[in-house]
Amino acid sequence: MQPGNLFPLVVVLIGIAFALGYARSRALATPLGGIRHLKSLPFYYAARASLWCGLPALIIFALWLGFEDKVIQTLVIGSLPADIQPDSPGRASLILSQISNVASGALSPEFVPEPIAGAADRLTALRAESKLMMTILVICVAILGAFVAWLRIAPHINARAKVESTLRKIFFMCAGLAILTTVGIIFSVIFETIHFFHKVSFLEFFFGTSWSPQTAIRADQVGSSGSFGMIPLFVGTLLISGIAMVVAVPVGLMSAIYLSEYASKRMRSIVKPLLELLAGVPTVVYGFFAALTVAPFIADAAGWLGLDASTESALAAGLVMGIMIIPFVSSLSDDVINAVPQTMRDGSLALGATQAETMTKVIFPAALPGIMGGILLAVSRAIGETMIVVMAAGLAANLTINPLEAVTTVTVQIVTLLTGDQEFDSAKTLSAFALGMMLFIVTLALNVIALHVVRKYREQYE
């Protein structure tokens, strides 16, 4: 049976197990005088039966699907005659793709050596066999599980506790999956980064002021060896993020103050969602807004003032990124300002302070740690932003702090490094991982600081 059919079948079996479990627990309860004589509600007995039915079956199903190919391939390769046994992993995968092409009919058996054609037949046979075995095994396990659970329904068994503990384990595994994925990503990046530092020295990467990752594509090519100084990239990142924050922090903060202190309820209910709409605009849209509208405007304006501006400028990218981040700052700040108790406002107003004095002297200092947390989160968002910069700030790794010049950022370079035609173990490609690692460390540090600051703030009022 195809996996696509087997899965719904298992689901149906789970449903049947549920119904049977429910019916049996009620049937057992009736002679005792009603379901209140059961240790748990019938629902829990039924749920337990479906867990017993579904969980082992689905786990076997998943494992089978995961390892099926690998096992079959090993079997097929192992059955090849000794003279064409592959001597390297590369060769093995070549032979395997030949075999599976023949098996799927994409390649005629006449064009390949006889043993390969034979292996293709074996592959087809093994696949069919595997599918049959899987179907039988999964269905048997499901039915067996359901049957055992059905037998074990008894009034004295606390099915609720068992279901709860199983659910807790499932939830834990889901949470663990997310963490494991993160850890996996970090490790893969770390290994590639170490690889990179075998090719390029630490000093050059951290202190080099020139970024031009042009390595020779072929070993015998006469070409540049490339330079991998990350300073221009980080300066570019900081410049653009800095411009973005200069826009986003004052505007976001003041709109938060307006929303929380001055706006009427009605106004607030209209303006706040509108502001948050800014966060919902795809960054690509911001990107072409920056590249097609803002950047030419800045170039024109600069030319008019007698300044020399490139058509791709840090200023354009930074301004638009700042607009994108406004809702971050305003929404988070609005929340923390609102969290300052009303009694603080009353206390200040009752002393004859104006609304502005109350805001600047009482509310703002009290909310400051939370606002700082929000701003730091916005900064890490700005540092990680790619699309706007790709489109509006260019790719030239100029080491400059002139916002009218084209600069590039860490994220943009990662994108360009990994979208070219390069050997995967060249210094050029690997440098993307080193950059990613740096970026990860910086944003992680910012996030940790932000969370710490926010938590400290929470302790103050709770």
Residues at the contact surface with another protein, assessed by CB under 8 A: 264-265, 341, 343-354, 357, 361-362, 365-366, 460
Do 384 and 365 touch, CB atoms closer than 8 A? no
Of the pair 276, 335, the CB lying nearest another protein is at 335
Q: How far is the CB of 315 from another protein (least distance, A)?
A: 39
In what helix (H) or strand (E) does residue 348 lie, and over which residues does it extend? helix 342-350
Q: How far is the CB of 461 from another protein (least distance, A)?
A: 9
Of the pair 209, 269, the CB lying nearest another protein is at 269
* Calpha distance 387→415 (Å, rounded): 10
Cα dist from 133 to 63, 112, 136, 140, 240, whole Å = 13, 30, 5, 10, 59
Please report the beta strands in 109-236, taking only residues with DSSP state E, as ranges in sequence order. Answer: 211-212, 227-228
Q: How far is the CB of 349 from another protein (least distance, A)?
A: 7
Which value, in Å, is the radius of gyration of the alpha carbons in the chain?
32
* Calpha distance 393→232 (Å, rounded): 14
Q: How far is the CB of 336 from another protein (least distance, A)?
A: 13
**Tokens at 364, concatenated:** 């703002």
Question: Which residue type occupies 451?
Answer: L
Reduced to 3 states, what is the DSSP secondary structure of residue 17? helix
Of the pair 77, 344, the CB lying nearest another protein is at 344
Of the pair 19, 351, the CB lying nearest another protein is at 351
Q: How far is the CB of 329 from another protein (least distance, A)?
A: 22
* Calpha distance 386→396 (Å, rounded): 15
Question: Which residue type occupies 154?
Answer: A
**Tokens at 126, concatenated:** 């093994």
Strands 211-212 vs 227-228: parallel, antiparallel or unpaired: antiparallel
Q: How far is the CB of 375 from another protein (least distance, A)?
A: 20
Tell me the CB-side half-sphere exposure of residue 176, using CA atoms within 13 A: 6
Please report the beta strands in 291-371, taking only residues with DSSP state E, as ranges in sequence order. Answer: none
Q: How far is the CB of 359 from another protein (least distance, A)?
A: 13
Of the pair 223, 341, the CB lying nearest another protein is at 341
Of the pair 271, 353, the CB lying nearest another protein is at 353
Q: How far is the CB of 263 from another protein (least distance, A)?
A: 11
Long-range CB pairs of 178-186 (<8 Å, 24+ gap) are 186/440
Q: What is the dihedral of CA 266, 268, 273, 277, to 10 degrees?
A: 130
Of the pair 103, 372, the CB lying nearest another protein is at 372
> Please, is 184 exposed, middle or buried when counting C-beta atoms within 10 Å of its C-beta (0-12, 13-18, 19+)?
exposed
Q: How far is the CB of 256 from another protein (least distance, A)?
A: 18
